[in-house]
Amino acid sequence: MQENERENAYLTGRERTVRTADLELWAEEFGDPADPAVLLVMGAQAQGVQWNDGLVRRLVDGGRRVIRYDHRDTGRSSTVDFAARPYTVADMATDALAVLDGFGAARAHLVGASLGGLIAQRLAVTAPDRVLTLTSLSSQPLGTDTAATLLRALSGEPPLPGDLPPPSPELLAALTSSFPDPEVGPKGYLVARLPLWRALHGRVLPFDEEEYRAMERRVYERARDYLAALNHTLAGTAGTGSTAELASVTAPTLVLHGTEDPMFPPAHAEATAAAIPGARLVMVEGMGHTLPRVLDARLADEILRHTEPS
């Protein structure tokens, strides 16, 4: 195969439906299957395609086999009747392993954003033989009761002693109306979603409204039922375990976080890095709680450096 043909072949996503006992999980692979695998684990209520194509391309160019997937209750993956079949973050971590199994990847570099960071941390604790390295991106340590913190903040109560900082007031306001009724249609959906992305993006980096519009159009069009993603809120952080368990992590760990994160202020990253032996903390100047295209190169460079074969 000619070199340019090889590059084109490996930059084209190869989609697959991974089937478990009771779920179908949409997944997509890029890169040479012989290269080290990087599993990208998105956050709560987010689809795998919200890992930017530009970031994926840079990782593939750096010699990585990249796999991204839709969590249960998002995108093209199965939706779940949460009342009849409740699940936890531990179950979502099992889904991630099923995706790796579906692609025949015995081990992988895990890169988890937000809730995905908790899932990746959980796997580093419970399935260390499957984890080459861990990157916890825009996340917080295992055992953090995010739901309780949010409820106290929304009700105007002060944080409890020892709590990590709550989300910013602007983000709290945006969170309360970010999932509109399906009757509003695609235009109403976009109108409702953009204030949330503006708040998550933060105040420092320029906000490219069309970038977020395009992303949300893709999300809306792909979703079997976009309201099903709210089940992630019901799952909360149940099944993550405790912060103390992170002391057992042996995978080389990178904690990558934005200086302007309005969801999990920098103290969350500091607590994560402090809990994992040998973890390296890298703060990205100006980044909020989103992964805009302008940061593709910076994030890819950090991940490639961290996942470089020793």
- Which two three-digit tokens encode residue 124? 């580093």
Lowest-pLDDT choice from 24-28, 178-182, 232-236, 253-257: 178-182
pLDDT, tens digit, 9 for 90 and up, residues 117-141: 999 999 999 999 999 999 999 999 9
Query: Nearest to residue 279, comparing CAs of 307, 256, 302, 296?
Result: 256
CB 76 within 8 A of CB 222: yes
User: How many alpha carbons fall within 13 Å on the CB side of residue 19?
Assistant: 1
CB 156 within 8 A of CB 139: no
- The mean predicted confidence, pLDDT, of the chain is 93
What's the length of the chain?
Answer: 310
Residue 108 and residue 65: Cα distance in Å, rounded?
9
pLDDT at 155 over 90: no
Residue 249 and residue 157: Cα distance in Å, rounded?
34
- CA 286 to the chain's CA centroid: 19
Query: Can you list the domains of the chain with their CATH numbers?
Result: 3-306 (3.40.50.1820)
Contacts of 136 (CB under 8 A, 6+ apart): 112, 117, 120, 121, 253, 254, 255, 256, 269, 272
- Catalytic residue numbers read 114, 261, 289
pLDDT at 11 over 80: no
pLDDT, tens digit, 9 for 90 and up, residues 39-86: 999 999 999 999 999 999 999 999 999 999 999 999 999 999 999 999
pLDDT band (50, 70, 90) for residue 4: low
Q: What is the pLDDT of residue 1?
A: 46
Beta strands at 108-113 and 280-284: parallel, antiparallel or unpaired: unpaired
CB 119 within 8 A of CB 112: yes
Could you give the C-alpha distances from 95 to 81, 89, 216, 294, in angstroms and in order?
Answer: 17, 10, 24, 30
Contacts of 2 (CB under 8 A, 6+ apart): none
Residue 223 three-state SS: coil
**For the residues 252-256, what does the mean pLDDT come to?**
98
Query: Nearest to residue 163, comparing CAs of 185, 178, 148, 183?
Result: 148
Percent of the chain's residues with pLDDT above 70:
97
Q: What is the pLDDT of residue 149?
A: 81
Alpha helical stretches, state H, the chain: 3-11, 53-61, 89-102, 115-126, 146-154, 169-175, 185-201, 209-222, 231-235, 266-275, 296-306
Contacts of 204 (CB under 8 A, 6+ apart): 259, 260, 285, 286, 288
Q: What is the pLDDT of residue 7?
A: 54
